[in-house]
Chains A and B, each alone.
Chain A
Amino acid sequence: MAKTKLAIEFSEEQETLLDIASNFCADKSPVAKVRERLELEGGFDPDIWKEIADLGWLGICVPEQYGGSALSLAEVVTIVEPMGRHLLATPFVSTTLVAQLLMKAGTEAQKSTWLPKICEGAIGAMGISEAHGDWDLGNLTCMGTRDGDAVKLSGTKTFVTDAAAADIVIASVSLDGSPALVFLEKSDLASGTMDKESIIDETRRSYRVNLDGISVSAANLLEMEQTGSALTHLHLAANLLTAAEMCGGLAACLNTIIEYLNTRKQFGKLIGSYQALKHPTVDILMGLEASRSHLYYAASVLDDPKEGEIAVRMAKVQVNEVFSYAGDRAIQFHGGFGFTFECDAQLYRRRSLWCENQFGNAAYHRKRLANLLLD
């Protein structure tokens, strides 16, 4: 095994963004607001979305020629982490990932039309999951069938988050025997059907999108030759940003535990004085530290093909295990109150259950890491 340097790089841009985003999210998304938004049909606040666009956050990775600031996902991580911390639900991650797909595999026409719009606040959603629930993005039952210059779509995509609000959806289908990515505008989606899904993380809005009846021009296909590598990149980028969101959620979950341990009394003593609660809480802190170390390292080496993949998978594995444990213990340590909807512990546990099982759980990534590290 070659020794890698294992050094985290943290730029001034990252430091500034982390600072700004932390303040922004704390301000916009106190937990009372999060709970109010649970009741909103769309789930997120359009005014906040506009502010996010105005801050330029949607164009961070986008090349300057398309209206972005040509930075990288390492900077996006510093925004997503505080969003996760304050459970700020917006289509930010899905829109960022749609932009990534366009940058990796979009045609020039698609890029020059849509990347500037995304920078200004157009909402993107991804249709990459299917009913079988497989994390393999290449396992596709949705079909595209060529019909002259058109492509007729069929099948159902699941977990298309923010599809109802989306200006564009990129969906994966099998076309001519290979995976293809197809670009759908609101008007295209109108020919299909969309059902709201009931999901574990109630801060999000997710939809089942039936593609039957949708037919689009072949010009809506992303570059076929780039599709395989774009999906590989998407898998890693999605895991990186999910890990960032989880690191934030984990930090907030830990603070929720600490606050209760420092206020609740039983048998005449603050419950935080009991080692049965204190020691696991310390282990959650250790896990948070490890998670952030892996996260920011992954952000540093994302461009390195092998080390980037190793680091991103490790970042997801690490935070998956800790956030799962922290969310679980948060409920338990709140005792009877933890069993109620009113207790914030459930918000974090629901969030972690959602994120843990997005784009591969810990065992799934470890299996791939074993191949990368041991063979």
Chain B
Amino acid sequence: MSVDAKELDEFRKDVSAWFKENAPGDPGFLLPQSFMEVGNDEQFYFLRDWQNKVYEAGYLGMAWPAEYGGGGKDQAFQDVATREMTAQKVPFMTNTIGLNWAGPLILQMGTDEQKAKYIKGILSAEDIWCQGFSEPDHGSDLGNAQLKAEQRGNGYVLNGSKIWTSLGSYAKYMILLARTEQGTARKYDGLSFFLSPMKIKGIDPVPIKKLTGEYGFTQTYFDNAEISGECLMGNEGDGWKVAMATLMFERGAAGGQAGGHSMMTAEVSEVVELARKSMRDGKSAVDDPMVRDKLVTMIMRERTLRLNNSRGGIKGLTQERPMSLPMAGKYVATEHIRDMAEFAIELQGQNAGYYVGDEAAVDGGLWHRSYFNAFSATIGGGTSQVQQNIIGERVLGLPKS
């Protein structure tokens, strides 16, 4: 499907105007920076209403099939809308796991019934999704997941626990990786993948306090929780394959997401502004040669991410290792964001000692919070170190560690 440039340009104007007019102002309480930090009801309902409004306006799931609640349009429209949301810094789309991981997965390999049942609620934010992959003892070693799913009658009985469940307190559904067979020769072969309900007897999400002092994750306990056989995604024993497909969506290595931004990302221009108002030896920090050197490095890295994106679409410039840029995106971007937030703290001089809650905290403690929260992305979805292994093995062909 080709898109008329003029039509797209008109659309850009419309969407820009809509967000300017409809963006919610300051809610009067601290909003989370990403879907991983929705820590109280006030925040959650505010964000859910906002996503619903954006969906109703037609700016979410624009390229998903119309028969399931999507817009049925070309992806180019959604990309424009998403860019506009990010640029205008409107609040993020809180149902990220549904929109960007579970949704595209269901559209890719789900049955028609599953699509009809789940897709619209994902877009409207009526049905919030969470992810049950990591376990207390199995984080990076995901293939070793131990939560038990035992077949009983037509369904399964779940026992064990999952951890780092973002939105666990609010989710209606979970994408769940569980062990249906013990003692298989390969640990991966005993795994199955479920679209599990959350609000049932035997499932208990318990909030975890994060290093920032906020909430947003749960440890989710399963105690003889019974789910139906229809919750199975793919075949029994195919769980690892389905989980890997999910991770491709999560890491942005595969397309098909509903769109919308999932976090408020600081831009380097804000760090430059911070440097201007910070002091070094009686002058603006932006005049300090060492600070200038570092700022240039940060500006360059932000450009690298955007230029990699641009080059990624050019076949003649990605021939040698076509999967390199798509596989590297998460690792490179998340490390940059953490580094940048850390530098922003350091720019504040003595005032770097303040934290959220003190009236003198620079930008309300935004940078400290950003720095801590940035670890959720350098750890979640496969740590940077695991990403390095994956890139080394799959892109460079190095032997397994």
Selected contact of B401 from candidates A274, A292, A369, CB within 8 Å? A274
> Is the CB–CB distance between B391 and A285 below 8 Å?
yes
Name which of A2-10, A29-37, A217-225 contacts chain B: A2-10
Question: B359-401: which residues lie under 8 A (CB-CB) from chain A?
Answer: 385, 388-389, 391-392, 395-401
Given contacts A261-B398, A275-B385, A282-B396, contact A8 B314 (CB under 8 A): yes
Given contacts A1-B269, A262-B399, contact A363 B303 (CB under 8 A): no
> Is the CB–CB distance between B397 and A290 below 8 Å?
no
- A317 lies within 8 A of chain B by Cβ: yes
A285 to chain B, nearest CB (A): 6
> Is the CB–CB distance between A296 and B311 below 8 Å?
yes
B386 to chain A, nearest CB (A): 10
B320 to chain A, nearest CB (A): 7
A243 to chain B, nearest CB (A): 13
- B296 lies within 8 A of chain A by Cβ: yes
> Is the CB–CB distance between A286 and B397 below 8 Å?
no
- A109 lies within 8 A of chain B by Cβ: no
Inter-chain contacts of B320 with A (CB < 8 A): 251
> Is the CB–CB distance between A294 and B307 below 8 Å?
yes
Inter-chain contacts of B304 with A (CB < 8 A): 290, 293-294, 318
- B119 lies within 8 A of chain A by Cβ: no
B385 to chain A, nearest CB (A): 7
A334-375 interface bits toward B, Cβ cutoff 8 Å, 1 = contact, 0 = none: 000000000000000000000000000001001101100110
CA distance A296 to B303 in the complex (A): 13
> Is the CB–CB distance between B314 and A366 below 8 Å?
no
**In chain A, what residue has the closest Cβ to B275?**
A374
Chain A interface bracket (under 10, 10 to 19, 20 to 34, 35 or more): 35 or more
Question: A294-340: which residues lie under 8 A (CB-CB) from chain B?
Answer: 294, 296-297, 314, 317-318
CA distance A258 to B399 in the complex (A): 10
Inter-chain contacts of B397 with A (CB < 8 A): 258, 262
- A281 lies within 8 A of chain B by Cβ: yes
**In chain B, what residue has the closest Cβ to A363?**
B293
Chain B interface bracket (under 10, 10 to 19, 20 to 34, 35 or more): 35 or more
- A110 lies within 8 A of chain B by Cβ: no
Selected contact of A278 from candidates B293, B314, B392, CB within 8 Å? B392
- B40 lies within 8 A of chain A by Cβ: no
Given contacts A1-B272, A258-B398, A366-B297, contact A286 B307 (CB under 8 A): no
Selected contact of A370 from candidates B269, B295, B392, CB within 8 Å? B295
Selected contact of A297 from candidates B286, B296, B310, B321, CB within 8 Å? B310
> Is the CB–CB distance between B398 and A373 below 8 Å?
no
> Is the CB–CB distance between B388 and A282 below 8 Å?
yes
> Is the CB–CB distance between A279 and B399 below 8 Å?
no
A64-76 interface bits toward B, Cβ cutoff 8 Å, 1 = contact, 0 = none: 0000000000000
CA distance A57 to B244 in the complex (A): 47
B265 to chain A, nearest CB (A): 14
Selected contact of A279 from candidates B303, B388, B400, CB within 8 Å? B388
CA distance A272 to B300 in the complex (A): 30
Inter-chain contacts of B331 with A (CB < 8 A): 286
Given contacts A290-B304, A297-B307, A367-B293, contact A374 B272 (CB under 8 A): yes
Inter-chain contacts of B388 with A (CB < 8 A): 275, 278-279, 282-283
Inter-chain contacts of B314 with A (CB < 8 A): 8, 10, 296
CA distance A283 to B385 in the complex (A): 11
B298 to chain A, nearest CB (A): 10
Selected contact of A14 from candidates B289, B310, B316, B398, CB within 8 Å? B316
> Is the CB–CB distance between A317 and B300 below 8 Å?
yes
B295-338 interface bits toward A, Cβ cutoff 8 Å, 1 = contact, 0 = none: 11101100110111011001011001100110010011000000
Question: A103-161: which residues lie under 8 A (CB-CB) from chain B?
Answer: none
CA distance A317 to B301 in the complex (A): 11
CA distance A374 to B297 in the complex (A): 12
- B117 lies within 8 A of chain A by Cβ: no
> Is the CB–CB distance between B391 and A6 below 8 Å?
no
> Is the CB–CB distance between A10 and B317 below 8 Å?
yes
CA distance A374 to B271 in the complex (A): 11
Of A270, A281, A366, most buried by chain B (CB within 10 Å of CB) is A366
CA distance A249 to B156 in the complex (A): 57
CA distance A373 to B299 in the complex (A): 9
B310 to chain A, nearest CB (A): 4
Given contacts A272-B398, A282-B392, contact A369 B324 (CB under 8 A): no
- A18 lies within 8 A of chain B by Cβ: yes
- B283 lies within 8 A of chain A by Cβ: no
| A-B CB proximity, top 10 nearest | A293-B307, A370-B292, A272-B398, A15-B316, A273-B399, A278-B392, A290-B304, A270-B399, A279-B388, A8-B310
Q: Could you list 17 A-B pairs, sorted by A, with CB under 8 Å?
A: A1-B272, A6-B307, A7-B310, A15-B316, A18-B316, A258-B396, A272-B399, A273-B398, A274-B401, A278-B392, A279-B385, A281-B392, A286-B331, A289-B308, A369-B300, A374-B286, A374-B292
6 more A-B contacts (CB under 8 A) besides A261-B399, A278-B388, A374-B286? A8-B310, A286-B331, A289-B324, A296-B317, A367-B289, A369-B300
